[in-house]
Structure 1
Amino acid sequence: AEGRYSLGTGIRFDEWDELPHGFASLSANMELDDSAAESTGNCTSSKWVPQGDYIASNTDECTATLMYAVNLKQSGTVNFEYYYPDSSIIFEFFVQNDQCQPNADDSRWMKTTEKGWEFHSVELNRGNNVLYWRTTAFSVWSRVSKPVLVRNIAITGVAYTSECFPCKPGTYASKKGSSFCKLCPANSYSNKGETSCHQCDPDKYSEKGSSSCNVRPACTDKDYFYTHTACDANGETQLMYKWAKPKICSEDLEGAVKLPASGVKTSCPPCNPGFFKTSNSTCQPCPYGSYSNGSDCTHCPAGTEPAVGFEYKWWNTLPTNMETTVLSGINFEYKGMTGWEVAGDHIYTAAGASDNDFMILTLVVPGFRPPQSVMADTENKEVARITFVFETLCSVNCELYFMVGVNSRTNTPVETWKGSKGKQSYTYIIEENTTTSFTWAFQRTTFHEASRKYTNDVAKIYSINVTNVMNGVASYCRPCALEASDVGSSCTSCPAGYYIERDSGTCHSCPPNTILKAHQPYGVQACVPCGPGTKNNKIHSLCYNDCIFSRNTPTRTFNYNFSALANTVTLAGGPSFTSKGLKYFHHFTLSLCGNQGRKMSVCTDNVTDLRIPEGESGFSKSITAYVCQAVIIPPEVTGYKAGVSSQPVSLADRLIGVTTDMTLDGITSPAELFHPESLGIPDVIFFYRSNDVTQSCSSGRSTTIRVRCSPQKTVPGSLSLPGTCSD
């Protein structure tokens, strides 16, 4: 009948104000050894939590299971929608039948969702079926994982005959024979079992799918925002104010504010570097081989080539390779709204529908075109870099996320800023030459309520600069090597390890024991001396130690041979425990010398691989370095054969030098970290730096490795961490 729906032989669970009848929510510590369970923290509160329209998983290292047992009269299906944005959580869905055998047909490991909610369906056999949704987070540092959300669980085959159910409040069914109920549109409502929705009174409003209407509040200055119009034919722009959508406030109530009048017209700012202004005041890219500062295009002089990239610092219209949207912080649906607005010399977060919305800005770069001197160097990870200047102005606990996506894979959070941050610059080094997306997401507050109190809390981006972009534009030209031909001279590339002489455009090899600055290979000053105890590799791209070191003193000469350390060695710190009692180790992989300076140490994040059936290859994030660290959760804890390796970090990307001195290039290896050597043979110290930049390590990390010789020892050498810092 109208106002009711039927799944035929099925049932649906779409209301999650409380755990529906028949569901069980269980939690357990991952430790498999029961005797250890007493001492390993309390997981009893780590469960799936009903939150109205959906149910949310735990976000800690406990294992939370949502279960539902059902007896099917005939074979059927279970389907549900899920939102799974964070790969640091393992999310499994599986079914056990009468014999407690899991269904072998379907992979139990769920894939992370790329664009909001996704749909999952599994066939069920007749008889008893137990459905399991299970989550465990492998995030043992301070960042809290984002929960998995599940909604609209439907199971068919439950009964011999079909049964009708009334539509829930906020939905309706206008026709007989409906298999689902439609949501009421905004500014309308319905009660249980309705055939249509009722319009709200003019002084009231409602969200989509509402069971009642709310009184419209008086409009305040938090209900509008400003933007700049695109340049008109006269080259002028105008500051305009707009009501935030959806407009729920009333201008007619006492004390309500009106929308401010538009500003006076002013001259448009210049185009961004690499673009020129057309006759109708739009900005177009300069053709390849030319450059501009935002006004007219100028051909690159002979002996130079354009340094292609994108530099955005004027914001009159959103660049064509950028887009903006809003992700609801309540139901995690994408809204057809603009999240960021252009404002002349910056772009900023507009007013969302609610303070917990994610205001999203994305820049897509098709690929990169680094200089030939960079391409020849397989050890040089830097293909390009992105630098942006931003600030956040917040009165509550706002967060700005910066994420990078490679080949449309899941966006990986790179950095997060919490609370107000003064105007500052951030640089990220791009290491893969492929289609890359950069995403900024700003959330004013995580409060789970629909309100608009903190519109004045904003994130602003003043400039974005990406280097070496394929099909990019240029704001300047750089010298190039010249190649003579019948029609004159043209740009070519120097061999690896050769610099360009600016005046003549000729190529010259770097002197011995120097390396070439590959992104700026101009003049002999581009050849940088290697540090002590090191020499250059064949293509002058890095300095390395060939496992031999000598030290002369007034009385004797010490000769060291480290060739046994050319291969990788591993070392684990002592066990650590999270607040919930999960045991983990910091695991280090080292490769010191030889191999022409190639980085041999690999640390991986295999949390992703655990979801992939045996025999299939998956994408696991790995880091290659001289020294790297990962967090290991051993197999006896996880129950997974290989254990879990996660959060790989590079501790050493560049060898600065090898010396017996305690300090080199501002890095110190304090003697008191280890027992003093007793044989009068000086310790040899390897000094490294890494490229990893974080808020706490703004200049990257530095690492020292102290090598000590004991000629009397016949046993193999040993590795140890400082006694005062076992991690």
Structure 2
Amino acid sequence: MVSSSSSKPASSSSSSASSSSSPSSSSLLLSQSSSSSSLPSSLMSSQSLAQSEATAASLSSSVVVFSAVTSHPNRLRNLLLFCTLFFLFYAEGPWSRRLSAWANSLPECRPEDFHYEYTECDQYGGRWRVSVPEPDKCAGGTPNNITRGKDCSYTCKAGQYLDIQGNQECLPCPKGSYSLGGGIRFDSWDELPKGFYIKTEKFSEIGMLSNNEEYVTEKSNCSNSGWIPKGNFIAAYPKDCATSLVYTVNLVKPGSVTFEYQFSESASLLQFLIQNSQCQNLVRDQPNQYPPATEKGQWSIVTLHLESGMNVLFWKAFSLPSNENDETVMRPVLIRKIQVEGVAFSSECTKCRNGTYSDQIGLSFCNPCPEDTYSERGATECTSCDKVSEYSPRESGSCRKKQHCREMDYYEYQTPCNKEGLTQTKYSWMVPMRCRTDLPNATQLPPPSKVEKCPQCNPGMMSVPGSGCKFCASDEYSDGASPCQKCPVSTSPQMGYTYKWWYTMPPNITSHCLNLEETECVTNSSWIPAKSYIHTKYGPGERSYLLLVLEIPGFRGNEAIILDKGVKLGQLTFVFETNCSSQCQFYFMVDHQTTRPNVVKKWIGTQQKQKFVFPVLRNGAAKFSWIFMHSQWLSKDEDEDISQMYITDYARIHFIEVTNTISGGAASCQKCPRGTQQDGCVPCPDGHYIDVNSTKCTPCPPNTVVHSGNAWGIESCKPCGPGLHAVDGRQCISNCTYKDEKNNRHYDFESLAGFQHVIGGHLFTSAGTQYYHGFNITLCGSPDGPKAQCINNVTTLPKENYGTTYMASILC
């Protein structure tokens, strides 16, 4: 088809001749355009039609070469028709005028305004390198030629980058920068890195997990929840909401994701999810979907495989409800480093962040600056602070001014007793020393005190010249002031640990300082003995918490449960107080080393001097921990200069006592009715208690049981419940029948004798994972028959630290 013109037959003939051998794109475009006259006149004027036809003719002539080489002429015709209609409708519209005015306001692009970028990968696994200007910088100009780029799977080695602006080869990173090659690393959290976003939502299951109205979903306020960048890590403060840190990455080959995290509260939970482009979860049923909780101050590393293609990574933090009113308490989940492997390439090297440097080319990491030095972004070396007036912690981006010294900048301590039984009080600066004594109003270090006689030891210990206080032997006792003495015949020492004097650190107590960024503190912050108590002492600017750990090898007696309650084997008692300028935290924890450490009790803010008692129900080894976090630990402001802040916050422990242990020392001895053996008194027979008056083994009343052969007093005998009868005075069982005399009913449970396993209905989580509840039951039967046994397989239990825990019970 050719447009006819009676005025120029020669031209028409020429066009027809050319089109007979190869259809002309321009003739096709114009003939299609001429049919547009049927369009409404309101959309087109004769003038605009003429201009549009001219423009279309110009456009069509520019694509003749492309039409000649294309293998799909029909598609090309459709494309040209679309372009023609686009110009017909919009060439004279207001949108076109605004676009034209905006383009005319920008200068013409010069050759140096262009840079190369890669297109998306095509079906052949390749891509094009195209030349484009910076957005909103210029318009028009002549871009460089389009060339074929590197294959999409092409990557550089660690410490190199792909020079896309040059010869498309891998080059080493310059000094002051680093590269992972085919990976991405995020370890600087001054702000949320590009590609991340945060999603916070109400935790819909909280209402089902608790009857406390405080946790009903409709009342939850998530405005104060979320992930907050804090410099060297990012912290999640979920409270009673769920907050997700989300990152999307496209991998050109199978890779991995590695992240370092920390959360130590039993009320917190971290979930990690990977979704593909179809929103399908890819880590379902894997153990690392719920990374295990970490020890206080420790960082754990998780690595998971990633498939090629689109991967959406979720770090979701929860704060589960507790029985205590701790609405104001923050329990952060921390992430320090995220590294993704499997990306195509690094087109440029990453500059070293503040506080780090690289002094060589081709590095895959940056080195941290040591204390009292600093560096800015992209540094090739660290710069020293002024030694007299400034200081800086490790990995600092700037120096801080030293303030004048105050009393809180030093501490006192007691020297060990020498061979003459003498000691002395001395004073020392907190290390490193970050204050000045040459400024006005500065406090000077006090001189040592006069030499004095060593104080008495704690009960169960005696003073040994040159060695300090030592525990008495296993068959001796002492009140701490007198030498150890042998227990009388047929008596046994009442072993335990009693600490009421704090001149030196006791042998089985240790102090630890752990901060949120490293595993150890940079100062000598710690719990420090101070004669009548032990107290916390922070170094300047220390963002950390202090742990005091008491280790007990074990307790005497056998574990037992009577009337659904565990039998107390021993007892821990301590007296403490805290002083806080704000919402500091004081925790008491117990770790039986077969299960995850448990927070027994926590206190918020200033606490008056008080006593706390904890019953010990297990006879195995245990660690008791006291943890203090000063008020700044909860602060979200990383810009605060805390070198002299919160230094008045402290915790003091005045007294600690642990009873009935298998080691330690004894302050007294108890009489044994049947003599002694290596580990104490010879126990009474089953079903007998020790009468406090006669100190003899006495049978318990009928149908009662006693848990231990060394139980004192008739109150140790516990009656069996309804339908149960005592066997050998040590356990209550059912014979699978029960008669209700009041209602004249008889129950027969013979069919439930022995071990039973019951499975509930199938349920589904919100993510679509199917699960069910299973119960192991041993309701009645032989007292020596098998018991229901369950395995503790809580997903947050660190498997590398704790062995499998089995529990035998009637129902579990």
Corresponding residue of 1:110: 291
Partner Cα distance (2:263, 2:506) in 1: 30
1:174 aligns with 2:359: yes
- TM-fit CA distance, 1:213: 0.8
CA contact (8 A) 1:226 1:240 kept: yes
- TM-fit CA distance, 1:252: 0.7
- Structure 1 segment 437-456 matched on structure 2, within 5 A: 437-445=623-631, 446-448=634-636, 449=640, 450-456=642-648
Corresponding residue of 1:68: 247
Q: Which AA in structure 2 matches 1:116?
A: Q
SS of equivalent to 1:273 = coil
CA contact (8 A) 2:189 2:230 kept: yes
1:344 aligns with 2:531: yes
CA contact (8 A) 1:324 1:362 kept: yes
Residues 47-80 of structure 1: CA distance to partner in whole angstroms, max 9, x if unpaired?
Answer: 3222222212232332222111111233322212
- TM-fit CA distance, 1:429: 1.0
Residues 134-153 of structure 1: CA distance to partner in whole angstroms, max 9, x if unpaired?
Answer: 12222155334612111221
Larger radius of gyration: 2
CA contact (8 A) 2:513 2:545 kept: yes
SS of equivalent to 1:107 = helix
- TM-fit CA distance, 1:436: 1.1
SS of equivalent to 1:222 = helix
- TM-fit CA distance, 1:594: 11
Partner Cα distance (1:320, 1:353) in 2: 28
CA contact (8 A) 1:609 1:618 kept: no
- TM-fit CA distance, 1:242: 1.9
Q: 1:549 to 1:234 in 2, by over 3 A?
A: farther
Partner Cα distance (2:643, 2:405) in 1: 13
1:298 aligns with 2:485: yes
Q: 1:393 to 1:406 in 2, by over 3 A?
A: same
Q: 1:53 to 1:373 in 2, by over 3 A?
A: closer
Partner Cα distance (1:256, 1:521) in 2: 61
Corresponding residue of 2:90: none
Corresponding residue of 1:6: 179
Corresponding residue of 1:48: 227
1:473 aligns with 2:654: no
SS of equivalent to 2:289 = coil
Corresponding residue of 2:40: none
Q: Which AA in structure 2 matches 1:56?
A: A
Residues 258-288 of structure 1: CA distance to partner in whole angstroms, max 9, x if unpaired?
Answer: 1112222222222222222224242222221
Q: Which AA in structure 2 matches 1:81?
A: E
Corresponding residue of 1:20: 193
CA contact (8 A) 1:383 1:430 kept: yes
Partner Cα distance (1:515, 1:308) in 2: 26
Partner Cα distance (1:50, 1:63) in 2: 17
Corresponding residue of 1:187: 372
CA contact (8 A) 2:572 2:613 kept: yes
Corresponding residue of 2:342: 157
Corresponding residue of 1:277: 463
Corresponding residue of 1:493: 683
Residues 450-508 of structure 1: CA distance to partner in whole angstroms, max 9, x if unpaired?
Answer: 333333332221221111222332211111122599xxxx9421013323357876422
Partner Cα distance (1:231, 1:108) in 2: 54
CA contact (8 A) 1:609 1:619 kept: no
- TM-fit CA distance, 1:541: 7.3
Partner Cα distance (2:651, 2:389) in 1: 33
Q: 1:39 to 1:359 in 2, by over 3 A?
A: closer
Partner Cα distance (1:311, 1:80) in 2: 44
- Structure 1 segment 230-249 matched on structure 2, within 5 A: 230-249=416-435
Q: Which AA in structure 2 matches 1:149?
A: L
CA contact (8 A) 2:573 2:613 kept: yes
CA contact (8 A) 2:563 2:720 kept: no
Q: 2:276 aligns with which of 85, 97, 103?
A: 97
Residues 219-265 of structure 1: CA distance to partner in whole angstroms, max 9, x if unpaired?
Answer: 11221222222222221222222222332111111111111122222
User: What are structure 1's unaligned runs of at least 5 residues?
Assistant: 551-558, 568-592, 629-727
SS of equivalent to 1:208 = coil
Partner Cα distance (1:373, 1:416) in 2: 27
CA contact (8 A) 1:222 1:455 kept: yes
- Structure 1 segment 588-667 matched on structure 2, within 5 A: 609=794
Q: Higher relative CO (CA 8 A, sep ≥ 6), structure 1 or 2?
A: 1
Corresponding residue of 1:260: 446
Q: Which AA in structure 2 matches 1:440?
A: W
Give the RMSD, CA atoms, in angstroms.
4.3
Write 1 or 2 for the structure with the bigger share of strand. Answer: 1
- TM-fit CA distance, 1:102: 3.0
- Scaled by the length of structure 2, the TM-score of the pair is 0.63
Q: 1:549 to 1:463 in 2, by over 3 A?
A: farther
- TM-fit CA distance, 1:171: 0.6
- TM-fit CA distance, 1:318: 1.4
CA contact (8 A) 1:511 1:527 kept: no
Q: Percent identity?
A: 34
Partner Cα distance (1:447, 1:41) in 2: 22
Corresponding residue of 2:211: none
Corresponding residue of 2:504: 317
CA contact (8 A) 1:48 1:56 kept: yes
Partner Cα distance (1:620, 1:118) in 2: 22
SS of equivalent to 1:209 = coil
- TM-fit CA distance, 1:400: 1.6
Corresponding residue of 1:125: 307
Q: 1:3 to 1:510 in 2, by over 3 A?
A: same
Q: 1:138 aligns with which of 308, 314, 320?
A: 320
CA contact (8 A) 2:239 2:331 kept: no
Q: 1:456 to 1:547 in 2, by over 3 A?
A: farther
Corresponding residue of 1:573: none
Partner Cα distance (2:731, 2:502) in 1: 40
Corresponding residue of 2:649: 457
User: What are structure 2's unaligned runs of at least 5 residues?
Assistant: 1-173, 207-215, 753-778
Q: 1:435 to 1:97 in 2, by over 3 A?
A: same
- TM-fit CA distance, 1:444: 2.5
SS of equivalent to 2:609 = strand
Q: 1:539 to 1:271 in 2, by over 3 A?
A: farther
Q: Which AA in structure 2 matches 1:510?
A: C
Write 1 or 2 for the structure with the bigger share of helix. Answer: 2
- TM-fit CA distance, 1:353: 3.7
1:78 aligns with 2:264: no
Partner Cα distance (2:490, 2:797) in 1: 52
Partner Cα distance (1:157, 1:531) in 2: 65
Q: 1:155 to 1:521 in 2, by over 3 A?
A: closer
CA contact (8 A) 1:139 1:145 kept: no
SS of equivalent to 2:408 = helix
- TM-fit CA distance, 1:442: 1.3
Partner Cα distance (2:221, 2:695) in 1: 69
Question: Number of aligned pairs?
Answer: 578
SS of equivalent to 1:92 = strand
Partner Cα distance (1:455, 1:266) in 2: 30
Q: 1:595 to 1:317 in 2, by over 3 A?
A: farther
CA contact (8 A) 2:559 2:617 kept: no
1:387 aligns with 2:573: yes
Q: Which AA in structure 2 matches 1:147?
A: P
Partner Cα distance (1:149, 1:249) in 2: 31
- TM-fit CA distance, 1:438: 0.6
Q: 1:610 to 1:443 in 2, by over 3 A?
A: closer
CA contact (8 A) 2:420 2:465 kept: no
Partner Cα distance (1:565, 1:363) in 2: 51
CA contact (8 A) 2:250 2:309 kept: yes
SS of equivalent to 2:513 = strand
